[in-house]
A and B are shown apart, each in its own frame.
Chain A
Amino acid sequence: MSQLFSKENKEAFFGPLFANNPVAVQVLGICSALAVTAKIEPAIVMGLSVTVIVALSNVIISLLRKSIPNRIRIIVQLVVVAALVTIVSQILKAFAYDVSVQLSVYIGLIITNCILMGRLEAFAMMNGPWESFLDGIGNGLGYAWVLVIVAFFRELFGSGTLFGFQVIPESFYDLGYMNCGIMLTPAASLILVGCIIWFMKAREEKAAKK
């Protein structure tokens, strides 16, 4: 048990959540972060889908890593990821049709998400399945929380709702309050992701000074 949660394994899981966050620090997977964050619900589904796919593909590639010829490793990785993405996409269509319509092509485009190929190349190809699984979950959740925070602000100020329920009371609108249209455009998520990066850098610098 102690081996399963050794210091390295904890690092593999918690590192990508904050200190080495794939979106805020490595600036990977930005395209989907811009596209699916207008509402919270699709952002959560997208985050979870990426988490599941990164974790499983990390495990599979890590199991195969010794038998993959080095020259064709990218193709093998792509086949694994594509298979998983197709499965997730079909499951979403079967059980959460509305959300899958909102996410449209972006579930399919997880195949091209830099986080996936990055983790497979940089981690799963040289580590065992359990470590790779933790790394995948960590990276997926690190991606997910940034998406959810961005989506929270975009939905709150852009549509006045959270999870589709109106949270800004009607009386505000009567007084002249208006939804901020720029929050519905991808430009806003770029600015919000920028703010998250700003915040994390500032925290890092503060920690470094101590």
Chain B
Amino acid sequence: MNALRKYVDKIKPNFEEGGKLHAFRSVFDGFETFLFVPNTTAKSGVNIHDAIDSKRIMSMVVIALIPCVLFGMYNVGYQHYLAAGVDASFWEKFFFGFLAVLPKIIVSYLVGLAIEFVVAQWKNEEIQEGYLVTGMIIPLIIPVDCPLWILCIAIAFSVIFAKEIFGGTGMNFFNVALITRAFLFFAYPTKMSGDQVWVATDNQFGFGAADKIADGFTAATPLGQAAAGQDITASLSDMITGFIPGSIGETSVIAIAIGAIILLWTGVASFKIMCSVFVGGALTALLFNGIGSADNLVANIPWYEHLVVGGFCFGAVFMATDPVTSPRTSGGKYIYGFFIGALAIIIRAYNPGYPEGMMLAILMGNLIAPLIDYCFVQSNINKRLNRINK
């Protein structure tokens, strides 16, 4: 660690004003503060100091995502060999998934960080760290068969139009990762939904058993099956452990739960939002079960299954709790979470075009979050005014 510090200090003058690598100062600054907590403080204004800065918070979320990444990799391989009907060892499955998922993670970081670096340099600012988490989430919420070039376009679009034009990290009012997914969903629907994209049917870098998979192989997600009017084939235990087709990181409730515990224990994510999303989803699903309908299979899925299939858990734990795009007021968090949970189930049940409603529900929640905050703040002001006037 000391040697690294010395090396960083040695190359530092190159990047300062007048140095020959001055053009890359924001890149250098970004890496330096990523490695070491800076010991300089702000020079003006009133500042609240905290032991933890946003780079450390971001790193915590990335750590919480690791179980999902690892399980996602394994499940990609598991589904591939299952489709091929080939017995493969644990490591073969994991290695296959590793080869399938790693390029997506690399592309995600390369494209997103490149844009961040260019913008920081252009605006003469420090590099913002927000993409650290976004870049890890994006590969987890897309199907494994999503081509890399499409991913590049979607990431470029969302980082520029959902984040940078609003002023960068902390200023965006939509979750950047979800905008990426929404762009993919509406721009290239054949690569984002249906029953052909959830299982990798090609070899990855020559590795795998693609020749054993029948041409035109299809595997729908449980929600896709229900939306198409078929019975769900996956068992409840598979849904919880995550051995079902789906977006890369969203399938395993157990992996997500580990992440949730890390997030809650470190205080990064809001318990109020997480809980109320589940409560909202469960109550709405219960309501639909109660109403019942003969031809709408999605509405008839029992409430506990609604909560464990699709992106519900992943969305509730990692996306809805995004501190930038969720409300700040304590009461607002409950409303916001409840709204997202309820809306996700409503979209699932009553919009056959979208088998999964979590993405649209959270984006909708992001949209009304400032309004929720406004209402709560105003009502607080009014309450206190009344108290004075009495």
Chain A interface (Cβ within 8 Å of chain B)?
176, 178, 180-183, 185, 187, 191, 198
Choose among B153, B161, B165, B188 the residue that contacts A181 (Cβ–Cβ < 8 A): B188
- The answer to whether B161 touches A180 (Cβ under 8 A) is no
B169-228 contacts to A, CB under 8 A, are 183, 186-191
**Interface residues of B: mostly helix, strand, loop or mixed?**
helix
> What total of chain B residues lie within 8 Å of the partner, measured CB to CB?
13
Nearest A residue to B150, CB-CB: A178
Please tell me if B147 contacts chain A, counting CB pairs below 8 Å: yes
Residues in B whose Cβ lies below 8 Å from that of A178: 150, 188, 190-191
Residues in A whose Cβ lies below 8 Å from that of B147: 176
Residues in A whose Cβ lies below 8 Å from that of B190: 178
Residues in B whose Cβ lies below 8 Å from that of A181: 186-189
B125-145 contacts to A, CB under 8 A, are none
Q: Give the distance to chain A from B259, nearest Cβ to Cβ, in Å.
A: 31
Q: Give the distance to chain A from B226, nearest Cβ to Cβ, in Å.
A: 24
Nearest A residue to B148, CB-CB: A176
Q: Give the distance to chain A from B260, nearest Cβ to Cβ, in Å.
A: 33
- The answer to whether A182 touches B187 (Cβ under 8 A) is yes
A178 to B191: give the CA distance in the assembly, Å.
10
Residues in B whose Cβ lies below 8 Å from that of A182: 183, 186-187
Q: Give the distance to chain B from A34, nearest Cβ to Cβ, in Å.
A: 16
Given contacts A178-B150, A181-B187, A187-B186, 18 further A-B contacts (CB under 8 A): A176-B147, A176-B149, A178-B188, A178-B190, A178-B191, A180-B153, A180-B187, A180-B188, A181-B186, A181-B188, A181-B189, A182-B183, A182-B186, A182-B187, A183-B187, A185-B186, A191-B161, A198-B165
A176 to B202: give the CA distance in the assembly, Å.
14
List the 5 shortest-distance A-B pairs measured between CB atoms, nearest first.
Answer: A182-B187, A180-B187, A182-B186, A181-B187, A178-B188
A36 to B183: give the CA distance in the assembly, Å.
22
Q: Give the distance to chain B from A109, nearest Cβ to Cβ, in Å.
A: 26
A66 to B153: give the CA distance in the assembly, Å.
57
Q: Give the distance to chain A from B7, nearest Cβ to Cβ, in Å.
A: 40
A183 to B191: give the CA distance in the assembly, Å.
16
Residues in A whose Cβ lies below 8 Å from that of B183: 182
Q: Give the distance to chain B from A164, nearest Cβ to Cβ, in Å.
A: 22
Residues in A whose Cβ lies below 8 Å from that of B186: 181-182, 185, 187
Q: Give the distance to chain A from B198, nearest Cβ to Cβ, in Å.
A: 18
A182 to B186: give the CA distance in the assembly, Å.
6
A179 to B191: give the CA distance in the assembly, Å.
12
Can you list 8 contacts pairing A with B, beta carbon distance less than 8 Å? A178-B190, A178-B191, A180-B153, A180-B188, A181-B186, A181-B187, A181-B189, A182-B186
